[in-house]
Copies of this chain bind each other. A is one copy, B any other.
Amino acid sequence: MAFLATPAWAQNPADCQAAPTNMGNAGYPRVCPDNTVMFKLLAPGAQEVLLQPHVGESGNGLGEGPFAMTKGEDGVWSITLGPVRNGFHYYHFVVDGLPVSDPGSDGYANSFGTNDLRGLVHMESGLEIPEQGVDFYLPRDVPHGVVQELWYKAELSGEYRRAYIYTPPGYDQDLSTRYPVLYLQHGGAGGERNWVEEGRVSFIMDNLLAEGKITPMLVVMERGVGNMAQTAQNQTIPFDVPTYTEYDRGSRQLFAQIVVENLIPTIDGRYRTIADREHRAIAGLSRGGDQAANIGLANLDTFSSVGIFSQGLGAFVNNPAAWNGGVLSTPAVNEQLDVLWVSNGTVEGGYPAIKTLHDTLTTIGVEHVYFESEGTAHEWLTWRRALYNFAPLLFKS
């Protein structure tokens, strides 16, 4: 990918479109027909303003950065980048050394990246680059489901937690129909709204249904950590990374319990599900792929299918301590899984590790579906494509 290959700064702003990820009526960032993007920040007092693509997104579609912005006489700093890859990209500005969100962008739960050693979840800025001729993740004129926000009490953590549940069109019109359920996890340093906002889960599922490609199902999205209030309480200084790391590890174990012992019974009690293992799958991206594998494979009486998006876990396949005593280390698992899915973006930093997982499973003889998203990195276009191709495989037996 080439940056600033064309003199994009000479484009007429009127030819370019405010990004769909912007707040309300914010005019910038602005996406031009050639996929260059114009950014602006009003910061008259600043000495240096950088645009920093999200560091965790290896092979970021915006480029690696940071990119120095240029100050105008009106105090507005500007930069034009691109052509930028289609899809969704996280970024922020760095003003005289301070990472700040773009006030023109809506907020998306993510970290500011590992470069500033924060490790916490913030409202990061995001940029959607519309993809010409591709609309599988956009609203079409087809029947639309809804995403329901449900607060429920997780007895294990003593907290009220928020879950999002996609219900397909018609869910509330026929009480005789029951549905299988896909549990779908976000990545590290994200949140339970990621799949709704960045992932466009409802549009993808609506479109798949309209195309007749999937069995109607519910999709449940929760926060991939355990007790948040307690951990926040333990944060006595801002941005304490070691505490975060410990938190993340301990919290994951609790989260796994919460899913099986609190969340699933809540969903099965409240929604018209088919409450057996054959009609329950779990998937996730990045850290959520790790969780899908760990929770799913350790609970094969609860789940029959597992989707691992953009997570390289090859080294763990033969580790007896991992994944339910190394369940993936023998083809016997083929009898226990309906679908095992591994997917990858061809330009993501973790590509070799994820490919290794695929190769290792192949060598062992563990049946699985391997999918590559062409030309995309550790980013939402990879995961939208993964979901679009994974969901049709589920609940077919």
A63-102, CB under 8 A of B: which get 1 and which 0?
Answer: 0000000000010100000000000000000011111110
The yes or no answer to A43 lying at the interface (CB within 8 A) is: yes
Q: What's the nearest-Cβ distance from chain B to residue A104, in Å?
A: 7
Beta-carbon contacts under 8 Å, A302-321 to B: none
In the complex, A269→B96 CA distance in Å? Answer: 53
State which size class the interface on A falls in. 35 or more
Q: With A40-B238, A99-B103, A100-B101 as given contacts, are A22 and B151 in contact (CB-CB < 8 Å)?
A: no
In angstroms, Cα B44 to Cα A43, docked, is 18
Min CB distance A209 to B, Å, is 14
Q: From the candidates B18, B74, B141, B146, name the one contacting A232 in the complex (CB within 8 A).
A: B18
Closest Cβ of chain B: how far from A330's Cβ, in Å? 38
Q: Given A97-B44, A98-B100, A103-B112, is A238 in contact with B28 using a C-beta cutoff of 8 Å?
A: yes
Q: Which of A40, A146, A238 has the most CB of B within 10 A?
A: A238
A394 at the interface (CB under 8 A from B): no
Taken residue by residue from 41 to 72, chain A's Cβ proximity to chain B (1 for < 8 Å, 0 otherwise) reads as 11111100000000000000000000000000
Query: What CA separation (Å) do A184 and B240 show in the bound complex?
Result: 41
A24-45, CB under 8 A of B: which get 1 and which 0?
A: 1111100000000000111111
Q: Tell me, rounded to whole Å, the shortest Cβ–Cβ distance linking A360 to chain B.
A: 33
Q: Which of A115-123, A277-285, A334-342, A361-369 contacts B (4 or more CB under 8 A)?
A: A115-123
Q: Please, how many angstroms separate the alpha-carbon atoms of A152 and B144 in the complex?
A: 8
Which residues of B lie under 8 Å from residue A43 when comparing CB positions? Answer: 97-98
CA distance A123 to B197 in the complex (A): 15
Chain B proximity of A37: nearest CB distance (Å)? 14
* Cβ-defined contact, B25 with A236, below 8 A: no
Interface residue? A325 (CB, 8 A): no
- Of the candidate stretches A168-176, A288-296, A349-357, the one touching chain B is A168-176
B120 near A14 with CB under 8 A, answer no
Q: Which residue of B lies closest to A19 (CB)?
A: B232
A139: chain B residues at CB < 8 Å are: 151, 153, 160
Contact assessment for A122 and B103 in the assembled complex, using a CB-CB cutoff below 8 Å: yes
What residue of chain B has the Cβ atom nearest to residue A28's Cβ? B238
Cα-based distance from A229 to B225 in the complex (angstroms): 36
The answer to whether B228 touches A46, judged by C-beta atoms less than 8 angstroms apart, is no
Known contacts A25-B120, A121-B25, A172-B172; A98/B235 CB under 8 A: no
Q: Nearest Cβ in chain B — how far from A47, in angstroms? A: 9
Q: A24-B120, A25-B120, A45-B97 are in contact. List 14 more A-B contacts (CB 8 A).
A: A14-B236, A20-B229, A23-B120, A25-B247, A40-B238, A41-B238, A43-B97, A45-B96, A76-B237, A101-B101, A101-B107, A106-B107, A144-B150, A146-B150
Q: 7 shortest A-B CB distances, which residue pairs? A: A27-B235, A107-B107, A18-B232, A107-B123, A45-B97, A24-B121, A146-B148
